[in-house]
């Protein structure tokens, strides 16, 4: 037994549909991975290799949990995303092998303090406080690829208070799941328990206290949270 001088942090995990828990190591996120969203954020989607940022594992907010409106922001945005769960780690994973490293998938939200992110962009500063704040990563139940396969296409949609605000198809990703894993594993060694939020389609916008967000990824599942 290690002689810890403070209590060690708990292991963060995501419940699996049908039972069990997926333990989470790191949370990677892909930026600007749908062309129409890249354009709405003011960049050219055709010229950019994938880029990544991170959230702490304990920023995850399990399904149906309330999301407190975060401090220091007046512009909290939703970003509806497919989440990939890595079951087998590796470095320099080939695209052709990439799906073998995937344990499963979930629907998730990359909640963003857009005002802080925009200020950071303008000043060339890190995005962390715009992206990686407490409970900034709502996530639905995990589903194993052994049951659902690997969704390369299908509806990805978010409703706020019952009204559709984001709708697209997984096939519209600029970098698909295989390419994303291949690229990211060339930058860092992926490990079991890593999650990858794969980017959001167009239609990102602000939410207010009281708003109910209900997201769905066809063939994967749902994510639901209310801003409080």
Burial pattern 121-154, b for ≥16 Cβ within 10 A else e, equals eeeeeebebbbbbebbbbbbbbbbbeeeebbeee
Which of 19-27, 56-64, 145-153, 197-205 is the region at the interface with Mn ion (rule: CB under 5 A)?
Answer: 197-205
Q: Which of 61, 104, 110, 151 binds Mn ion (CB under 5 A)?
A: 110
Q: Which two tokens stand for residue 136?
A: 């900034």
Task: Say how many residues touch Mn ion, by CB under 5 A.
Answer: 3
Tell me how far apart the alpha carbons of residues 206 and 114 are, in angstroms, rounded to a whole number: 8
What residues between 65 and 84 interact with Mn ion by CB under 5 A?
79
When the beta carbons of 81 and 214 are compared against Mn ion, the nearer one is: 81
When the beta carbons of 144 and 175 are compared against Mn ion, the nearer one is: 175
Q: Residue 160 in contact with residue 207, Cβ under 8 Å?
A: yes
When the beta carbons of 144 and 176 are compared against Mn ion, the nearer one is: 176
- Taking CB under 5 A as the rule, which mask of x and - marks residues 141-160 in contact with Mn ion? --------------------
Residue 180 interacting with Mn ion (CB under 5 A)? no
Residue 175 interacting with Mn ion (CB under 5 A)? no
Q: Which of 180, 198, 200, 225 binds Mn ion (CB under 5 A)?
A: 200
When the beta carbons of 17 and 172 are compared against Mn ion, the nearer one is: 172
Chain residues binding Mn ion by CB under 5 A are: 79, 110, 200
């Amino acid at each position: 037994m290690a002689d810890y001088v403070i209590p060690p942090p708990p292991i963060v995990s995501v419940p699996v549909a049908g039972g069990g828990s997926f333990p989470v190591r790191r949370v990677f996120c892909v930026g600007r991975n749908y062309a129409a969203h890249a354009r709405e954020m003011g960049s050219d989607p055709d010229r950019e290799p994938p880029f990544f940022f991170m959230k702490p594992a304990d920023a995850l907010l399990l399904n149906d949990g309330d999301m407190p409106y975060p401090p220091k922001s007046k512009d909290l945005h939703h970003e509806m995303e497919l989440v990939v769960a890595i079951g087998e780690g590796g470095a320099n994973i080939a695209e052709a092998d990439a799906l073998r490293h995937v344990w499963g998938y979930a629907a998730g939200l990359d909640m963003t303090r857009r005002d802080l992110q925009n200020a950071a962009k303008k000043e060339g500063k890190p995005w962390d406080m715009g992206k990686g704040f407490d409970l900034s990563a709502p996530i639905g139940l995990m589903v194993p690829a052994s049951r659902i396969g690997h969704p390369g296409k299908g509806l990805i949609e978010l409703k706020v208070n019952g009204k559709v605000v984001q709708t697209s198809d997984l096939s519209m990703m600029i970098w698909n799941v295989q390419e994303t894993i291949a690229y990211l594993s060339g930058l860092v060694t992926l490990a079991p328990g890593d999650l990858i939020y794969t980017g959001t389609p167009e239609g990102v916008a602000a939410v207010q206290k009281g708003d109910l967000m209900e997201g769905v990824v066809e063939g994967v599942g749902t994510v639901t949270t209310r801003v409080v």
